[in-house]
Amino acid sequence: MSRIEGIRFACQCSSKCCRFRDGYDRVYVSLAERRGLARAIGLTTAAFTRKYCVPAEGRFSLRGRDGACVFLEKGLCAVYEARPLQCRTWPFWPENMSRDAWREVSAFCPGVGKGPLIPAATIRRKLADQRAADARTE
């Protein structure tokens, strides 16, 4: 990552990142994210967690529906402003940063290679945020 200026990326609203594929079927949500999502849709955190989450690997993950995130509606995120960190940092996830993985992401996500250059420092911050979130369990 340090040898590049950055990566061009601009979301194309394809909703492909909201669909489960190749074993990626978890959208992890922290307690703080569950609180924010619950507020966004007018539920208590407990009610939100019961209705929209499942236990997964010592954390909570959003439920899926028809092979996609439960909040994907008509190709759009119904909770976009409150979406979890995992969603906000796509496609800059640690597991996507090898050349081979990035090639796969590029073939899958139409936003790769489009739009402004995302500086390497910004990508490193997103990766650090994601790693920190992955290390926490709530």
Separation CA 75–CA 51 (nearest Å): 21
| Average pLDDT of span 72-89 | 94
Confidence of residue 25 (pLDDT cuts 50, 70, 90): confident
pTM reported for the whole predicted model: 0.84
Taking the CA atoms of residue 98, residue 17, residue 89 and residue 104 in that order, the dihedral angle to the nearest 10 degrees is 10
Q: Where are the beta strands (DSSP E) in the chain?
A: 6-9, 28-29, 53-56, 59-62, 64-65, 68-69, 72-73, 76-77, 112-119
Q: Which of 79, 22, 17, 15 is nearest to 53 (CA)?
A: 79
| Average pLDDT of span 103-127 | 93
Confidence of residue 71 (pLDDT cuts 50, 70, 90): very high
Confidence of residue 137 (pLDDT cuts 50, 70, 90): low
Q: Which of 14, 30, 2 is nearest to 91 (CA)?
A: 14
Separation CA 55–CA 46 (nearest Å): 13
The amino acid sitting at 121 is A
